[in-house]
Amino acid sequence: MQLNTKTTLFAISIATSMLLILVAVSLVSFRQFSIVTAKERAETAAEVVLVGLTELMVNGVIQNRGNFLKRLTTIQDLKSVRVMRGPKVIEQYGSGEAYESAHDSIDEKVIASGEPYFGVIDEWGDPIFRATLPYNVNTGNITPACSTCHAVPEGTTLGAITMTFSIANQKGDVLVTVGVMTLVIALFGLMVVIFMRRLTRPLIETANHVQTLVTNALDGQFTAQPVRRVSDDEIGQIATDMNKLMSFLSSGLNNIRGSIAQLIQFTPTSHDTNLLNSTMGMVHALIETSHFKLAIEEDETKREVYCRLARTIREDFYIRFFSLYEINPAKNSIVAINVDGEEGGECRWCHPQILIRSEACRARRTGHLIDSVQHPLICPSFNPGEDDERLQHICIPVIQSGTVGSIVQLVVDQSKPESYEAVLPYVKLYLREASPVIEAKRLMDTLRESTLRDAMTGLHNRRFLEEYVDTLIANADRNKKDVAILMLDLDYFKKVNDTYGHDVGDTVLKELSKVLRSAVRSSDMVIRYGGEEFVIILTDLHGGNGDEVAEKIRAAVEEMKIQVPGAVLRKTISIGAATYPKDGDTFWQVIKFADVALYRAKEEGRNRVVHFSKEMWDEGQEY
């Protein structure tokens, strides 16, 4: 209910209540006044009748009492009057006329008790006041005394008189008076209502304007029509202050949103009509992004960063289909890091050619955001399949060290553009925060990898073996698989350096590294142990001890031809083999046993494979 209506109803209620109370009080008061007046008139008339009857009796003309009583009815409003004899009078003078006997129980009660009766009765809608008064013997100074004619003791009831008076005229006067009072009070109440409405109009109008302004503010609209100042009192000051507050909030929120939008490189869209929600959303996004950055900075590897980013896209932005790609510039290829929340998933939303030729990816090639919702068929490599024609993609390149290092592909339903327009700026914000962290993790991985690889041959070095050995043995023990260890050394390599120089020696080692890598599986490890000495670790052996692979390597090296200035070199290699855990209880013990077998191969003439046996080891030696 509106305040204006409440105020009017309140004023009307007060006026009506006052009017009803006053009318009720007036009616009761006038009724009591009429009764008191009628009572006094009845007592006066009764006294007149007593005096008149006494005179008639004294004068001996008591037989004229009927006419006397009739003349009394000519008095205004006196409708009837009758006198009744009591038992003592009847006993002394007889019952008299018929009308002089008790007519009803009230008459009898008054004659018997000597107490008067007064009451109001309704006679055909006409209010009648009835008074029945007793005539009691009184021997005081009244002359003539009752005992003169009646031989009865004092206090005896000689009879009673009953009179009825009409109070209709008084009732009419009362109604007219009450009507006039009611009209006056009603006019006064109307004036009060009008006055209160005029008095509260500025308050109500200002309150309505404030309500509209607050409602618009809750909807993010701070530029609505200002509150009109309708008075110069406190209400007017409230309107002025409210307008100042709305202006301050609008200016402040616009400045905050503008600064945050500039900070996060976000342009508000046509859907951002709610200034308050838009600003709160951007502030919340900044907070969440800050937490996200703190989390990924503490992650150990870039793989963990990619996993956290994929989880954020899927769970926080509710994007079901997406791909995270990483660029490998050395191989001109792209690696699928995460597809639809599956780590290392297969390329699903693009043609597989981008994996081997990164230029086929438009985002990779241009470094620009690719939006096929706005520009259909912009990238021919997008391949959603025949059943997903409604789907389009947005590819966001992540710039790292000036080039595209990663690509985030969002697959969206083109029929619901608002589903991605609202989250795209925040996804880009997350990617901007993640980009330097991913680049730092990548550089750390590269730096770490460089310390674990031999710079010349590209093979892992001895330090890598030392770091990896615990994982290697743990996997072998858990899977109950043997691990073959081959220790290799080129025969007479020192002569190459002495004869052709170290450059040719380096060439020989590089060619040998290629032969070794091609002779084993990708799951096996080839390690440059030091100088011309190499270690090959064959994992997941299903029976056997690796001697067949060692013989294959020996034969391949023997067939190797190395072109050097002025000559073609051919070299041989000696190999010592041992198996964990068959030949030793610890990995490093088996490494030592493989080295013992290598020296036995050299002693037996080189260019051969020798597997370790227990008789090769002197129990007194230490390792």
**Residue 419 belongs to domain with CATH number:** 3.30.450.40
Q: Is the pLDDT of residue 304 over 80?
A: yes
Q: Is the pLDDT of residue 59 over 50?
A: yes
Considering the domain architecture, whether residues 493 and 522 belong to the same structural domain is answered as yes
Considering the domain architecture, whether residues 417 and 556 belong to the same structural domain is answered as no
Place of tokens 């490093």: 588
- What's the rounded Cα separation, in Å, for the pair 614 and 153? 163
- What's the rounded Cα separation, in Å, for the pair 243 and 251? 12
Q: What is the pLDDT of residue 619?
A: 45
Look up the CATH number of the domain holding residue 115: 3.30.450
**How confident is the model over 462-513, as pLDDT tens digits?**
888 888 888 888 888 888 888 999 999 999 988 888 888 888 888 889 999 9
Domain end marker among 137, 166, 195 = 166
Mean pLDDT of the chain: 81
**How confident is the model over 25-43, as pLDDT tens digits?**
777 777 677 777 777 777 7
Name the DSSP letter for residue 608: S
Is 401 contained in some domain?
Answer: yes
Look up the CATH number of the domain holding residue 522: 3.30.70.270
Considering the domain architecture, whether residues 352 and 395 belong to the same structural domain is answered as yes
**How confident is the model over 525-567, as pLDDT tens digits?**
899 988 889 999 998 776 667 888 999 999 999 999 888 887 8
Considering the domain architecture, whether residues 387 and 466 belong to the same structural domain is answered as no
Name the DSSP letter for residue 610: E
Sign of CA dihedral 107, 109, 113, 118: negative
529: Cα separation from own chain's centroid: 63
Strand segments, DSSP code E, in 515-557 are: 525-530, 533-541
Q: Is the pLDDT of residue 151 over 50?
A: yes
Considering the domain architecture, whether residues 389 and 345 belong to the same structural domain is answered as yes
Percent helix, strand and coil across the chain, each to the nearest 5: 55, 20, 25
Q: How many residues does the chain have?
A: 623
- What's the rounded Cα separation, in Å, for the pair 77 and 48? 16
Starting at the edge strand found earlier in the chain, the sheet holding 573-580 runs: 460-461, 525-530, 533-541, 482-490, 573-580, 609-611
Considering the domain architecture, whether residues 394 and 459 belong to the same structural domain is answered as no
**How confident is the model over 263-296, as pLDDT tens digits?**
766 666 655 667 777 777 778 888 888 898 899 8
**How confident is the model over 232-246, as pLDDT tens digits?**
777 778 878 878 887
Strands 525-530 and 460-461, sheet pairing: parallel
- What's the rounded Cα separation, in Å, for the pair 381 and 162? 123
Q: What is the pLDDT of residue 623?
A: 43
Sign of CA dihedral 590, 591, 592, 597: positive
Considering the domain architecture, whether residues 337 and 386 belong to the same structural domain is answered as yes
Residues 6+ apart with CB under 8 A from 521: 538
Is 33 contained in some domain?
Answer: yes
- What's the rounded Cα separation, in Å, for the pair 610 and 575? 6
Residue 400, sorted as left (phi over 0), alpha (psi -120 to 50) or beta, turns out to be beta
Is 272 contained in some domain?
Answer: no
- What's the rounded Cα separation, in Å, for the pair 532 and 504? 13
Considering the domain architecture, whether residues 75 and 20 belong to the same structural domain is answered as yes
Considering the domain architecture, whether residues 417 and 474 belong to the same structural domain is answered as no
Asked if residues 553 and 488 have their Cβ atoms less than 8 Å apart, the reply is: yes
| Total count of domains within the chain | 3
DSSP run (H or E) holding 485? strand 482-490
Is 462 contained in some domain?
Answer: yes
Q: Residue 79 sits in which domain range?
A: 3-166
3 state SS of 370: strand
Considering the domain architecture, whether residues 479 and 604 belong to the same structural domain is answered as yes
Question: At residue 534, what is the residue type?
Answer: F
Instruction: Express as a percent the part of the chain with pLDDT over 90.
Output: 18
Q: At what angle do helices 65-72 and 3-58 cross, to 10 degrees?
A: 160
Q: Which two tokens stand for residue 462?
A: 């001895």
Asked if residues 187 and 129 have their Cβ atoms less than 8 Å apart, the reply is: no
Domain end marker among 166, 194, 213 = 166
Is 68 contained in some domain?
Answer: yes
3 state SS of 531: coil
- Give catalytic status of residue 342 as yes or no: no
Dihedral Cα 428, 429, 432, 434, nearest 10 deg: -100
Asked if residues 81 and 71 have their Cβ atoms less than 8 Å apart, the reply is: no
Is 173 contained in some domain?
Answer: no
pLDDT band, residue 597 (cuts 50/70/90):
very high
Residues 6+ apart with CB under 8 A from 97: 66
Is 112 contained in some domain?
Answer: yes
Beta-bridged to residue 166, according to DSSP, are: 128
Residue 528 C-beta-side C-alpha neighbours within 13 Å = 21
End-to-end CA distance of the chain: 97
Considering the domain architecture, whether residues 381 and 489 belong to the same structural domain is answered as no
Kindly report the number of other CB atoms within 10 A of residue 430's CB atom: 23
Domain end marker among 166, 183, 210 = 166
Catalytic residue among 123, 433, 532, 548: 532
Q: Which two tokens stand for residue 96?
A: 């008299």
Considering the domain architecture, whether residues 412 and 486 belong to the same structural domain is answered as no
Is 36 contained in some domain?
Answer: yes
**How confident is the model over 411-451, as pLDDT tens digits?**
988 777 666 777 888 888 888 888 888 888 887 776 666 67
